[in-house]
């Protein structure tokens, strides 16, 4: 910070509509907090941008001052790349406009918007696009890493629904990236993360959906998990693409539709969203009800926007989080054995392991059509370590790593980049597979000096 003069900071303040926060300023500590409480960093400057002009000024200021740049959208990223020590944070959270055009079925979304903001606007017109499972997740980070959710089996990955984006690149230029303009950049931002610039506007295709979907939860005791998972994997191939079923293994939260005696015991939960005609919902979910003896279920029509918020209470900010993830094409017996053993040794009541089902439309796109390449993944498995006290760090992280290693023989070897922790830069090549060489070429063109490196970094070619 000593290299930044008060004059340069005042010049920056005068150039912005937004706010500049320094460590001594009121609001600084609040602005540097993000979802994962394990991340505690102190940037030299936080620029709370109000528009594209502010973003351009912030990029230019940081580049000229030799400051590391971090870019914050929703601040939900597990790796904590939204915040850096000693550098400049481009905070996009004030930029949360969402504009929906029903006549063209397009949505224009600023990078500070969260899923709940998007759903609120889009569902007012009975429209939606595939976006995550937690309303507090940021649209920007989710999209740039690929993005998937309850609608992906029917409508594809989030990036498959991205039509165009405005991007501020390392030289401070604002470019429009689409299939017809800077198509190499457009290809790269569809899964390549924040490596290529700062997106200031996303344009999405949206689809008629809702306002209600059919679904909910079916909960079985852990003793039934083996048979239930065998039936789950067998049913997957015949499930309609309007039906998405995730499986979650954890200690039962105190849900009102389950007996109190079940609360806090190990369970397998099948989370269900059927987005076809409501009248077909009961028949569509009936096979899931036959996976085994239930200890509770809650099924029926519900607003899509409400279902998107259903898991928010389990994913509140301020807890310590550590994830490990694999992509899977199947759920073999050996994996089920390792899984049930891991759930028998949960280190905290908040820890869980889930299989996020995708497949369907996500598999009908060529691996090289977007930077996100993992079109053979039917499930994205995440080991979600979550706890409260720093004293439990070693135990909870160790549990997640142990199951990650035990499950590795059954995985594809690839990984969803948004689920990588800050220590997993070595798995970036696994996230991008055959697309890595092309991503390096695009990075070298648009960010040859690696200004945008506070991310799962794709380094430009040597000598650029």
CATH number of residue 261's parent domain: 3.40.462.20
Does residue 306 belong to any structural domain of this protein? yes
SS3 content of the chain, % helix, strand, coil (to 5): 35, 25, 40
Q: What angle do CA 231, 236, 237 make, to 5 degrees?
A: 120
330 and 394 both lie in a single domain: yes
Total structural domains within the chain: 3
Does residue 153 belong to any structural domain of this protein? yes
85 and 218 both lie in a single domain: no
- For 28-50, give the DSSP string: HHHHT--S-TT-----SEEEE--
Q: Please compute Rg for the chain using Cα positions.
A: 22
Which among 73, 91, 109 is the end of a domain? Answer: 91
Q: What angle do CA 283, 284, 288 make, to 5 degrees?
A: 100
136 and 87 both lie in a single domain: no
Does residue 356 belong to any structural domain of this protein? yes
Q: Which residues in 131-159 are b (16+ Cβ under 10 Å) and which e?
A: bbbbbbbbbbbbbbbbbbbbbbbbbbbbb
- Kindly report, residue by residue over 140-157, the tens digit of the pLDDT: 999 999 999 999 999 999
Residue 5 pLDDT: 86
171 and 230 both lie in a single domain: no
Please check the confidence at residue 356 and state whether its pLDDT lies above 70. Answer: yes
Does residue 80 belong to any structural domain of this protein? yes
Q: Mean pLDDT score of the chain, rounded to an integer?
A: 96
269 and 410 both lie in a single domain: yes
279 and 203 both lie in a single domain: no
CATH at residue 57: 3.30.43.10
269 and 371 both lie in a single domain: yes
Please check the confidence at residue 3 and state whether its pLDDT lies above 70. Answer: no
Residue 464 pLDDT: 62
258 and 120 both lie in a single domain: no
**pTM as predicted:** 0.96
Query: CB burial class (10 A; 0-12, 13-18, 19+) of residue 208?
Result: exposed
218 and 201 both lie in a single domain: no
329 and 200 both lie in a single domain: no
Residue 2 pLDDT: 42
- The whole domain housing 172 covers 98-209+435-446
188 and 230 both lie in a single domain: no
Tell me how far CA of residue 290 lies from CA of 144, 243, 244, in angstroms: 38, 16, 16
Q: For residue 367, what are its two tokens?
A: 């691996």
218 and 205 both lie in a single domain: no
Residue 288 pLDDT: 97
> For residues 34 and 72, is the Cβ–Cβ distance under 8 A?
yes
Find the DSSP H helices in 208-263: 225-236
- Kindly report, residue by residue over 423-448, the tens digit of the pLDDT: 999 999 999 999 999 999 999 999 99
């Amino acid at each position: 910070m000593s290299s930044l003069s008060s004059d340069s900071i005042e010049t920056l303040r005068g150039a912005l509509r937004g706010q500049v926060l320094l460590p001594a300023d009121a609001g600084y500590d609040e602005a540097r907090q993000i979802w994962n409480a394990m991340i505690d960093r102190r940037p030299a400057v936080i620029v709370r941008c109000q528009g594209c002009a502010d973003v351009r000024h912030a990029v230019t200021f940081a580049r000229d001052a030799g400051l590391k740049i971090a870019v914050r959208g929703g601040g939900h990223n597990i790796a904590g790349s939204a915040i850096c020590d000693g550098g400049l944070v481009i905070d996009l959270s004030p930029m949360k406009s969402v504009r929906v055009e029903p006549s063209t079925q397009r949505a224009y979304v600023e990078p500070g918007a969260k899923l709940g903001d998007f759903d609120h606007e889009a569902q007012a017109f009975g429209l939606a696009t595939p976006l995550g499972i937690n309303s507090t997740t940021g649209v920007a980070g989710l999209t740039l890493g690929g993005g998937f959710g309850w609608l992906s089996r029917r409508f594809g990955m989030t990036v498959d629904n991205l039509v165009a984006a405005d991007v501020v690149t390392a030289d401070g230029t604002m470019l429009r990236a689409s299939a017809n303009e800077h198509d190499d950049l457009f290809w790269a931002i569809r899964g390549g993360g924040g490596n290529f610039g700062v997106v200031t506007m996303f344009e999405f295709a949206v689809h008629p959906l809702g306002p209600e979907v059919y679904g909910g939860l079916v909960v079985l005791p852990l003793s039934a998990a083996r048979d239930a998972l065998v039936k789950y994997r067998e049913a997957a191939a015949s499930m309609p693409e309007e039906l998405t079923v995730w499986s979650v293994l954890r200690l039962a939260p105190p849900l009102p539709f389950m007996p109190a005696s079940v609360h806090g015991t190990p369970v397998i939960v099948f989370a269900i969203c059927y987005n076809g005609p409501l009248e077909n919902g009961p028949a569509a979910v009936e096979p899931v009800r036959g996976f085994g003896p239930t200890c509770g279920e809650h099924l029926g029509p519900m607003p899509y926007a409400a279902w998107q918020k259903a898991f928010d209470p389990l994913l509140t900010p301020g807890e310590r989080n550590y994830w490990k993830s694999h992509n899977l094409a199947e759920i073999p017996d050996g994996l089920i054995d390792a899984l049930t053993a891991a759930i028998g040794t949960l280190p905290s009541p908040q820890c869980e392991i889930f299989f996020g089902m995708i497949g369907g439309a996500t598999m009908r796109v060529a691996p090289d059509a977007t930077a996100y390449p993992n079109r053979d993944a039917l499930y994205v498995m995440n080991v979600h370590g979550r706890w409260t006290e720093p004293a439990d760090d070693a135990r909870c992280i160790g549990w997640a790593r142990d199951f990650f290693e035990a499950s590795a023989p059954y995985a594809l070897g690839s990984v969803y980049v948004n689920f990588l922790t800050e220590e997993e830069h070595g798995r970036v090549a696994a996230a991008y597979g055959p697309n890595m060489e092309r991503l390096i070429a695009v990075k070298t063109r648009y960010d040859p000096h690696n200004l945008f490196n506070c991310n799962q970094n794709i380094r430009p070619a040597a000598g650029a």
